[in-house]
Structure 1
Amino acid sequence: GPLEGLLKGRSSTVDNVVYSPDGRHIASSHGDNMIRIWDVATGARVGRLLNGHTEYVTDIVYSPDGQRIASCSYDGTIRIWNAATGMPVGEPLNGHPGGVTSVAWSPGGQYILSASPKGTIRIQDVATGASISEELNAHADTISSVAYSPDGRRFISGSHDRTIRIWDAQTGMPVGMPLKGHTGNVTSVSWSPDGQNIASGSDDHTIRIWDAATGTPVGDPLRGHLGGITSVIYSPDGRYIISGSEDHTIRMWDAQQIPSGG
């Protein structure tokens, strides 16, 4: 379909791909410090290039109402954009001095969660940029990806220490033990829309599904990409998992048909 054709003729890796909440658009970054918006139905690009970061864009996310996009970069900032026009909204937020590796928007729209190469996490008020808690020392290595649960009560982080951790969003305390199984850097994490499962992608070329309540694996790892996974996200209806890879492809997986016992 059109999604698979998004990258035809592109020579660069797809580093990040994210759905708008209504499922009609995808935002992507490709390593040139800019962000592009695409129409899912036609595969055509929409609006202007989101241009403002001075270094590599590490992550992009839509606000829950779909009206804004947040992006973060090795330039240390988090930028907010109008999703319809591509124009910047307000001043950039100061994220992490050493660069920001991942960003997530709280389901209520009030907070932005961000992570750093040093394994730390910050939670900031979107309107003011103020930190709402102490910085969390979350992982022993770079955090590549963070995501809120759909109800906003928890969030997850994936790291180059090869683990995924679940956190209480109110207290900043870890929930349960780290999720272990990947044999390479964890590069991307996503929470299913029903809140029941977590998907993670890794440099080990696999995607793994986890039970969010117990932290145990669901089925076997998803295999098929010929390179490291750079991005993994659930579709808004929860039926599919969409993955981007260093093999220059985007794949769609049936989230209801996770293989097991293979």
Structure 2
Amino acid sequence: MSTSSNPIESSGVRGPMKIFEGHTELVPCVAYFPDGQRIASVADNDKTVIIWDAKSGRKDGQPLLHASSVVWMAISPNGRRIASGMEKNGVVVWDVLRRKVVHEIKGGIHRLAYSPDGCWIATAPMDVAKEVQFWDADMGRPGREPLKYDNDVWCMAFSPDGSRIAAGLDDGYFEVIDILTGESVVGPIKGHTSGVSSIVYSPDGRLLVTASRDNSIRVWDSKTGVQVGKPMLGKYAVQCISITSDGRRLASGGYDKTVQVWDLETRLQVGDSFDADGWVLCVAFSPDGRYVIGGGYSGAHLWDTESLAIQSSVSIFIQLQHCF
């Protein structure tokens, strides 16, 4: 596949597109299940998590209903549970097969993540924005003491070995803390001139990638915090990033209403941008790296990246309407 920075000629979304009446509001979070067969998505104000068959685009079972707006979601590493977070009513952990609530964690959140071993759920609370809290994933009880930061946490990611957690802050800094000791091991580092909107580790744990509303994506040595290579620059604020399981490519989305795929080694865009027809708030690669899904203000669209031209796409369509 080409890694040229020259765009492939495109008029936007091509080929057959299936449209589904699913969510009724914007989609701030999407994720693939580990086996790549299903996708989960959440919507801001329709209070649901919907699970989709990744191949057909059809709903897989009944939606998971919540008491208030769902703003974030994470799938456990074994794919058996979903943790979904609400602004006001905390986190609900679901048994995916039975579509039943396992337990609930009180307190509104705006970000959450599963640890790589599935034992812990980390949350960035709404009311105590300058910390990351840890919860026993099986029991929903508090775990270790919260980790403290100097500014509001906008995003976070566990290291692949689960020993560290990286957080992007609203002032453009990022910091890595050792979970066992609670000590800062990298940073705080002023990586951006605006808030860090997304942060991810490479699969081997060597690199840390940050995206920001300053229109840039930057790559760092995860052990030293030294920037590696030149940044990847967009035209507008970058809201979200995702890395393929082989660590070769990165997808990004943001306020330019497109999803872009980048070669992480060369820092060049691969092919053309994918037209998302609205601000993109979240992106996720399929486990095999072939597909990328982006969600935001115009729904969630699934693209085939094999040729970097849209051969087919599945759109989880959002009908904007009043909810009562």
Same fold (TM over 0.5): yes
Residue from 302, 306, 318 that aligns with 1:252: 302
- Distance 1:31-1:179 versus aligned 2 partners, 3 A rule: same
Aligned to 1:157: 210
Query: 1:24 Cα shift?
Result: 7.0
Query: 1:96 Cα shift?
Result: 3.1
1:215 and 2:267 matched: yes
Aligned AA (1:77): E
Contact 2:249 2:263 in 1 (8 A): yes
Aligned to 1:77: 131
Structure 1 distance, partners of 2:117, 2:159, is 11
The DSSP-based 3-state class of the residue aligned with 1:69 is strand
Aligned to 2:114: 62
Structure 2 distance, partners of 1:67, 1:250, is 29
The TM-score with structure 1 as length reference comes to 0.81
- Distance 1:208-1:86 versus aligned 2 partners, 3 A rule: farther
For 1:1-262, list aligned pairs within 5 A.
8=22, 10-23=23-36, 30-31=43-44, 42-44=60-62, 45=64, 46-47=94-95, 48=101, 51-54=105-108, 57=110, 59-74=111-126, 75-83=129-137, 85=138, 87-91=140-144, 93-180=146-233, 182-223=234-275, 225-247=276-298, 249-259=299-309
Aligned AA (1:105): F
Query: 1:11 Cα shift?
Result: 3.8
Aligned AA (2:130): G
- Of 66-75 and 235-244, more deviation after overlay is shown by 66-75
Aligned AA (1:244): G
Query: 1:253 Cα shift?
Result: 1.3
1:223-251 deviation digits (Å, cap 9, x = unpaired):
1x22100001112222211111112x122
- Distance 1:96-1:81 versus aligned 2 partners, 3 A rule: same
- Distance 1:250-1:89 versus aligned 2 partners, 3 A rule: farther
Query: 1:18 Cα shift?
Result: 3.1
Note the residue ranges of structure 2 that are not aligned, 5 or more in a row. 1-18, 54-59, 65-93, 96-100, 311-324
Note the residue ranges of structure 1 that are not aligned, 5 or more in a row. none
The DSSP-based 3-state class of the residue aligned with 1:132 is strand
Aligned AA (2:289): G
Query: 1:110 Cα shift?
Result: 1.1
Query: 1:29 Cα shift?
Result: 5.7
Query: 1:25 Cα shift?
Result: 7.2
Query: 1:90 Cα shift?
Result: 0.8
Larger Rg over CA atoms = 2
Contact 2:42 2:50 in 1 (8 A): no
- Distance 1:88-1:28 versus aligned 2 partners, 3 A rule: farther
- Distance 1:18-1:69 versus aligned 2 partners, 3 A rule: farther
Structure 1 distance, partners of 2:35, 2:140, is 20
